[in-house]
């Protein structure tokens, strides 16, 4: 098999089992200070014909994989063995074939439309693509996409309803913050008012809405405003999901030069946790599910359905914040090294002893007896997050 269809670079963490169909290329805005994904890449639309050809390719690949499954005695289903067989075949490293095989393995029921803002495409064109996908793959149950809030604020509820009827089930929006001065500082190209309008349009259309908030984005300067105003925007939208994705400043982000100049100071982990506490406390009168499913988030257990789980989420935060400093350091290092997922993991003596050794080693300047400064230790822990980017 040497079939090929086009795929973009990213998808939300919750779309790991989805087939990726590229509707537009890159980001039509591409100016956010904290975003590196489409840097140096030009935005472009793809024609409906091109996208349909990709869907035809996916179908052809699927049929070939099913045939292989029959030949191997699996009656058309895609098992681990089929995946292995595809990887070991000549041409098996074709990314398109691998991704369709993985998609079928996970049930072939979810699709994610790429890239950063598929909703910028004309509604009739999107409807045609959605229908074509569903006609060709009756197994599809969920089709989702990223969209910019500004685009959603301009789409009418009627248009969004048409998209829902054609099969669009969920929209992911990178809201990041609801605080206007911070939106401007980060060049997000949207106002809190537009975010509210865009979000409300989606909710009213019946499409499921996932809003991403970026803890840490307010820096040391605006962490309170960022927390409170983001919660206020969400209180007006009442999205189905609120997802946390903590800021990490990479060298290839525009924001990095502001960090270098000392203009932007990323808050330390404990402050970000306090920021999330203020954020959750300010969420009010909504029924959203809070999700902490990004590897960069320190506390994965800050999750639950509002309003019932609000106190439970605050409880997780308070348990962390009231730990002695030494324990908080152990947890942060354990989490950033991928040893820990939640606070209960601190009880594991074998892991704790490994983490203490690492902390001890990291706390000494190379080959020196002198301990490193708290800033150097902080930088070292922050550097561990790079492994996940
Ligand atoms: S709109 Fe989204 S994809 Fe585009 S630059 Fe901003 S964060 Fe990146």
Q: Whose CA is nearest to atom 6 of ligand 1?
A: 32
Residue 114 pairs in a beta bridge with 22
Q: Which of 10, 11, 25, 38 to mutate to test the pocket of ligand 1 (most atoms within 8 A of CB)?
A: 38
Contact 144, 170 (CB under 8 A): yes
Residue 136 CA to residue 12 CA, distance in Å, equals 24
CA of 139 to the centre of ligand 1 (A): 31
pLDDT tens for residues 169-211? 999 999 999 999 999 999 999 999 999 999 999 999 999 999 9
The pLDDT of residue 330 is above 70 = yes
Q: What mean pLDDT do residues 360-388 have?
A: 71
Of all atoms in ligand 1, which is nearest to the CA of residue 116?
3
pLDDT digits 0-9 by tens, 216-240: 999 999 999 999 999 999 999 999 9
- What tokens were used for 3? 């079939």
| Positive or negative torsion for Cα 336, 340, 341, 342 | negative
174: how many CB neighbours lie within 10 A of its CB? 23
């Amino acid at each position: 098999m040497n079939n090929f269809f086009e795929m973009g670079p990213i998808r939300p963490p919750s779309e790991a089992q989805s087939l990726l169909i590229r509707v537009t290329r890159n980001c039509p805005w591409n100016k956010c200070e904290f975003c590196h994904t489409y840097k140096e890449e030009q935005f472009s639309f793809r024609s409906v014909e091109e996208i349909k050809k990709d869907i035809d390719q996916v179908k052809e690949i699927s049929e070939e994989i099913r045939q292989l499954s029959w030949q191997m005695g699996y009656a058309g289903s895609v098992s681990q063995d089929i995946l292995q067989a595809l990887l070991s075949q000549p041409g098996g490293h074709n990314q398109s074939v691998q991704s369709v095989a993985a998609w079928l393995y996970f049930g072939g029921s979810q699709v994610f439309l790429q890239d950063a803002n598929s909703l910028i495409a004309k509604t009739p064109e999107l409807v045609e693509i959605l229908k074509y996908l569903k006609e060709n793959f009756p197994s599809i149950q969920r089709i989702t996409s990223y969209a910019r809030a500004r685009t959603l604020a301009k789409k009418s509820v009627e248009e969004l309803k048409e998209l829902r009827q054609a099969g669009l089930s969920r929209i992911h929006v990178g809201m990041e913050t609801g605080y206007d001065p911070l939106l401007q500082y980060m060049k997000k190209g949207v106002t809190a008012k537009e975010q509210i309008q865009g979000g409300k349009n989606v909710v009213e259309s019946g499409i499921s809405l996932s809003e991403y908030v970026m803890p840490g984005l307010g820096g040391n300067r605006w962490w309170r405003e960022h927390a409170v105003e983001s919660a206020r925007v969400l209180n007006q939208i009442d999205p189905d999901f609120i997802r946390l994705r903590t800021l990490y400043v990479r060298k290839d982000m525009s924001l990095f030069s502001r960090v270098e100049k000392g203009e932007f100071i990323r808050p330390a982990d404990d402050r970000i946790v306090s920021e999330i506490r203020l954020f959750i406390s300010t969420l009010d009168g909504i029924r959203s599910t809070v999700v902490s499913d990004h590897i960069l988030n320190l506390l994965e257990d800050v999750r639950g359905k509002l309003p019932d789980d609000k106190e439970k989420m605050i409880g997780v935060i308070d348990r962390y914040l009231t730990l002695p400093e030494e324990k908080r350091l152990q947890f942060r290092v354990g989490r950033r090294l991928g040893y820990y997922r939640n606070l209960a993991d601190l009880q594991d003596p074998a892991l704790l002893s490994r983490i203490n050794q690492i902390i001890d080693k990291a706390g000494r300047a190379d080959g020196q007896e002198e301990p490193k400064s708290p800033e150097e230790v902080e930088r070292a822990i922050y550097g561990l997050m790079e492994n996940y980017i």
